Amino acid sequence: MRILLTGAAGFVGGAVGEAGAAAGHEMVLVDALIPQAHPVDATAAANVHRLDVRDAADGATWAELLRGVDVVCHQAAMVGAGVTSADMPLYAGHNDLGTAALLAGMSAAGVRRLVLASSMVVYGEGRYRCPDHDLQRPAARAVADLEAGRFECPCPTCGRDLEWALVPEDADLDPRSSYAASKLAQEHFARAWARQAGGSVIALRYHNVYGPHMPQDTPYSGVAAIFRSQVEAGTAPQVFEDGGQMRDFVHVSDVAAANLLAVEAVAADAPGDVRAFNVCSGTPVSIADVAGLVARGTGADLSPVVTGGYRPGDVRHVVASPERAAAELGFRAAVRPDAGLVEFASAPLRQTRPVTSR
């Protein structure tokens, strides 16, 4: 198949591009090389078109590149939790305007198949159960509770600590950061486009992606990269809250594999079909354990330090169910976090430039 891949020079996009080419697909590679994701000396490789998805609706170069494309695999995005409210225009511009422009350009070119990189952040808090009251949807945690070291979500009915459960794709969506809001908006734009243009969409909700060539030392870096930088600087990894936050960490090679399966699946979907899938390892891990595994991989004798600090807006637990992706895409992760995070500690990372905006 001929696949147009946005964000092709990025962390995830680079892995998807390599996997697609190795599988025999004709890859059309596009990247804007925004500074938050690319090395200080980044220049577009010979086979990467340096273009901005925000120009895709009316760009002659975009129209030419989209001609004959079977599937667009849309990885380009401004990533991270959203450091301050000042980041909102960046997320809305790169992620939402960019996706809308890309969809308009696809429609004009007659391209009707999209694989969209979404995120687990669309769920907000994960799924919770009370021992006495079954499934519960907790409110955002109160700052007073966080200050007092009460980090678990309380049951809205009885106040007992809720227990985390696996989050399925049909869970309520409740974005709690500017980045999360932009990722959910991408899904909404894609769903509207599928109805209006007769397209089909698969949205892949990535959980915590890590692996070689992850961006390093920016406010937008993933927590695994932040822990590694702390250890390499001779500082023990600093763990927020009590370290008991549960997450799913999925290796970038598994994310690339999921994208190729989604490309094949969406090409066979009926017009108007929209499906979402968790892309996860299926092996829950606590943030304290992530810090310990990364520290072990560096060989440094530095145990994680649980600080008790917190970030307002952070969610307590988000742990994915892998079952729909396994049943419908045939995707199961190959890399377990207990092995992958240790190896990640010595993997090459990428330096990024100071943050600027367009």
Instruction: Quote the tokens at residue 86.
Output: 């000042």
Per-residue confidence (pLDDT) for residue 355, from 0 to 100: 41
* pLDDT on residue 358: 26
CA distance 288 to 263: 35
Residues 6+ apart with CB under 8 A from 159: none
d(CA 307, CA 305): 6
pLDDT score, position 352? 62
Residue 72: both structure tokens together = 């667009």
Is residue 310 classed exposed, middle or buried when 0-12, 13-18 and 19+ CB atoms within 10 A define those classes? middle
* Entry pTM: 0.94
Mean pLDDT by runs of 10 across the 358 residues of the chain is 97 97 98 72 73 95 97 92 75 95 98 98 94 93 95 96 97 91 97 98 97 79 89 95 98 98 97 98 97 94 95 90 98 98 93 46
CA distances from 283 to 124, 208, 290, 322, 339 (A): 19, 12, 12, 9, 11
pLDDT score recorded for residue 226: 92
pLDDT recorded at residue 176: 85
* Whole-number Cα distances in Å, 257 to 33, 81, 219, 331: 23, 25, 28, 8
List, for residues 128-177, the tens digit of each pLDDT value.
999 999 999 998 899 999 999 999 999 999 999 999 999 999 999 999 88
Q: Residue 350 has what pLDDT?
A: 80
Q: Which domains does the chain have, with CATH numbers?
A: 2-127+166-351 (3.40.50.720)
SS3 content of the chain, % helix, strand, coil (to 5): 35, 20, 45
Write down the pLDDT at residue 354.
46
- Are the beta carbons of 8 and 77 closer than 8 angstroms? no
What beta strand segments (E) does 58-185 contain?
71-74, 113-119, 127-130, 134-136, 163-165
Give the single-character DSSP code of 328: I
Residue 207 is predicted with a pLDDT of 96
